[in-house]
Amino acid sequence: MAATKQFNKKPYKSDALTALMGAALILPGISGQAAEIGVRSEKTTISVLHAEFEESSERMSIVVDQLSVTSPIGKDFEGNFSAIRDITSGASPVVNFLDGNGTPHQFLETGASIKDQRDIYDASLSYFGEDSLSTIKLGTSTEDDYESTYGAIDYRIDLNRKLTSLTFSYGHSDDKVWNSYNPSVLLEEPSIFNHRQKDEFSISIGQVFNRSTTIQFSLTYAKSKGFLSDPYKKVFVVDEALFDFRPLNIDIAGIFRFLVDTGVIKFFNDSGITKLINDSPAIDVSFLSEALLGVIKENRPSERNQWISLLRFSHYFKSTTSALHTDYRYANDDWGANSHTLEFKWNVDLGNGWQVSPGLRYYTQHSADFYDTYFESIPDDGYLSSDYRLAGFGVISKKLEISKTFSRDFTVYLHYENYDRQYKYALGSETNGGDLDDFSFEMISVSLDVSF
């Protein structure tokens, strides 16, 4: 088992960034995974990370900095403090408009219509018993339009001469969500403050078969309730517009694209004309955009239930001093956005402190029941969204991590990831989505661990 731990003792360095960007619908800090290996630190370790993320067509960029400190406390305790700051800038899809042929196109405001900073702070305390591990974690996350407090409790018990482990976890988050109103931006609306909560329950079992092979299975249930919509996303509904533009062969998408590309919208925003219109008591921008263009706010159900199962397999190859890690994840969602994830990572020890870890990840997601690129009319239940994160799509992600240990207490990591999302990669044919939601990004991060 010692050899296996050697290749599994460092957390995957892009996990924090994945939680921040990614799964945009999953809140950070819900699942407490502190001291996951179950071995108490003997020294204080400081970890720092810097990551940069760039989407295709310069649509979105994110810079992330993270500091983490882990230290033994007394004989049986271990503490951890983590701070993360990410700065996001760029433009995100707001709504889809139709061209003269009835084909939807995304409308993005250029000129860094998004500028946001997120600060996440959390701390955990772990107690190492003779055959058990208990961890409590508390944290907070703040943005210009979001505040979250969260906590998690983990309890792990080792059985069968510590070859078998059972872990029980519970996490809770309480969030305030609103739209950061900027009257100088087209289609912006006054802030509406909302509330949501999430509870997560998890049980996992791990088994060591021999010094080379381990397997782990976990089952998680997550329940979210409250305001689960995105306050910035809008939907185009044909029947809500003044009239159907398609028979007239009017390219609304092309008109908006022209206004963006030529700088007309930017001029209106920068000159104060947009602000004057938004602030005018005689003009209701929300009503006009709905009545004239059929643009309304998205509306998601106020409750979401998810079941997530994860199977993880690790095997150490003594002959090549390498370890293969394989993960399969299935998520079942009462919104209909079910997903499969298959990931491989191969850690290879090159000697003299060098380790290389290529990886490959495939993800496929079915669209949510209430997702479409646009709607002919408002559904009977009132739920509708054109948020690309709820579309049907697939992802192929290629990764490479290189690390160098200069001494027993100093290691540097370099991580690169190429992420390619396309509708045609999705499994199954009965799912909504399209090429307009396709995009890619590249991410590179540098981090180091120092112990003393």
- The single-letter code of the amino acid at 28 is P
Beta bridge partners of 410: 407, 450
Beta bridge partners of 342: 328, 362
Q: pLDDT at position 114, please?
A: 64
Q: pLDDT at position 436, please?
A: 85
Q: pLDDT at position 35, please?
A: 43
Nearest alpha-carbon partner for 13 in 62, 68, 61, 86: 68
Mind listing the domains of the chain with CATH numbers?
2-90+117-229+303-451 (2.40.160.40)
- The single-letter code of the amino acid at 431 is T
Dihedral, 149, 337, 169, 214 alpha carbons, nearest 10: -130
pTM: 0.85
Q: What is the mean pLDDT of the chain?
A: 85
Is-contact 370 386, C-beta < 8 A? no
Q: Is 430 exposed, middle or buried (0-12, 13-18, 19+ CB in 10 A)?
A: exposed
For the chain, which residues score pLDDT lower than 50?
Answer: 1-36, 111-112
